[in-house]
Every structure is written in C-alpha cells, then in structure tokens.
C-alpha cells in the first residue's frame, strides 16, 4: 500500500476486523456487478470508495430522466449515455485507483460463463426475475458467492447465496424458476427513492465482508425491509434438496 492508500483507507485500517490485511484483500479483489441502476449505483460507488481493485459493470440500458429520482450514480449530464459508462465515470472520479470495466451488454448465460471465472464475488443488482435466475445458475456452476438484492415500492430484500458450500441454499431454492413469479417494474409500481440506496448499501456491505473475510454474511438468511415502517425482518432459508439448480 502507498502513503496515499494509507490515508484514503485510514478508517478501514483502524478497524481491527479489517486492518492492513483486510484492506489489501479488497485491493486485490475482483467483483462483477450486474445492473448499474438503482441498486447498482450505491453498490458501485461504495465498492469503489472502499478500494475494491477490479469492478466489472454489466448493463445494456441507457440513462433516462426517470432514472434520476433514485439512480444516484447518474446525473443530468448522463442522459442518453450508457449506464455502465456513466457509473464507471462517477466511480473513477471517486477513486481513480480502482479499475472499472464497463460492459454494455445483457447479462446472458454466455457472458456470465465468460466473466465469472475471474471474479471473487457477484452482486446481482438487476431488476427482473429471469436475469436473477441466470445469474444464480451461473454462480452455482462456477462456485461463486452471490449477493442478491431487490427493491420495489416500499419493500426491499437482500441475501447472500454461498455457492462454494453445497449445504447452503441458492436463489432458486427460495424462488423456483417454474413458480410463475411475475416481474413488477418500477415503471408500473414505482419505487421509494431511498429504498434502493438502503438495499444497495447493504449489498455493498455484504460483498465487502465476503471479500475481506470479516463478520457473518447473510448466508441462509433473507433480510427484508418494510420501508413504510422502516422495519427489518429476517427469515431463515433452507436448501431445497429437489432444487433444479443447486441439487442437479
């Protein structure tokens, strides 16, 4: 670590749980973030500020005026720009030492199989059920931990799916692909602006804990937020022995 690093990350270095070794693990880490919108904005900014060495952003969408109510990585100068490029520029301005790679593509199975072998943690910040299942299945195939979040209306949820240990559930154990779950979009339901910031910040925290090897991750636990009452609740999750993804 350089003298500038010691200053930039001083508040991390003061924490016994992180210290020099933990911060070095963050500097050496590689993360894939799927989605550069409401959840991906705080995730990307906090990963960059914390010094995660290599961050890949995947999103095919462009910035529109309706995004700016909640997607804090973008601003008026970003309108019409690819979200991954807008977010990457903001992250680089925050911390030019991190390597941010922008991939303006849909997160399909081929891309995930290409990208996952080189990363340490995957963070799912997408906004649709189908992509969540693609990301989960890829994490199971490649044995990568997945930090998954979702937010709509006033309700949010976040969990960690630890594919490196087969006794833990995957996303499909809780939300089976054949369940017929219907996506609810922000465009039809709306979303409380700070909600995505809260859930995205928790996702960032869980990813940093995994990378630094500290604390107790949300593995096997689904953390849910009722934003109307600002009340958290938690349910325990069990691995489904008949899961079509992780039990296959």
Query: Which active-site residues does the annotation give?
Result: 186
Q: Strand pairing of 155-161 and 221-226?
A: antiparallel
DSSP 8-state symbol, 151: E
What is the spatial distance between Cα 32 and Cα 100, in angstroms, rounded to a whole number? Answer: 10
CB burial class (10 A; 0-12, 13-18, 19+) of residue 118?
exposed
DSSP 8-state symbol, 98: S
One DSSP character per residue, 77-110 reads: GGTTSBHHHHHHHHHHHH-TTSEEEEE-S---HH
- Do the beta carbons of residue 95 and residue 118 sit within 8 Å? no
Query: CA dist 152 to 22, 41, 75, 127, 230, Å?
Result: 34, 16, 21, 9, 14
| 3-class state of residue 22 by DSSP | helix
Query: CA dist 118 to 29, 32, 181, 207, 242, Å?
Result: 10, 9, 31, 16, 29
- Do the beta carbons of residue 205 and residue 114 sit within 8 Å? no
């Amino acid at each position: 670590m350089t003298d500038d690093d010691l200053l930039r990350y001083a508040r991390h270095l003061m924490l016994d749980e992180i210290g020099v070794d933990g911060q070095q693990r963050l500097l050496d880490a590689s993360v894939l973030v799927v989605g550069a919108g409401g959840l991906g904005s705080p995730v990307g900014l906090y990963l960059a500020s914390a010094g995660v060495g290599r961050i890949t952003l995947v999103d095919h969408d462009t910035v529109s005026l309706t995004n700016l109510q909640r997607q804090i990585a973008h601003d008026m100068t970003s309108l019409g720009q690819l979200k991954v490029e807008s977010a990457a520029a903001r992250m680089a301005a925050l911390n030019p030492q991190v390597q941010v790679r922008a991939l303006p593509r849909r997160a399909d199975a081929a891309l995930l199989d290409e990208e996952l072998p080189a990363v340490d943690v995957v963070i799912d910040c997408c906004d649709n059920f189908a992509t969540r299942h693609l990301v989960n299945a890829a994490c199971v195939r490649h044995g990568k931990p997945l930090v998954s979040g979702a937010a709509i209306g006033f309700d949010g949820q976040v969990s960690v799916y630890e594919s490196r240990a087969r006794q833990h559930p995957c996303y499909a154990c809780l939300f089976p692909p054949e369940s017929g779950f219907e996506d609810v979009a922000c465009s039809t339901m709306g979303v409380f602006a700070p909600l995505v910031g809260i859930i995205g910040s928790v996702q960032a925290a869980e990813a940093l804990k995994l990378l630094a090897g500290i604390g107790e991750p949300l593995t096997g636990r689904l953390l849910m937020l009722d934003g109307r009452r600002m009340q958290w609740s938690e349910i325990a999750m069990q691995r489904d022995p008949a899961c079509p993804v992780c039990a296959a």
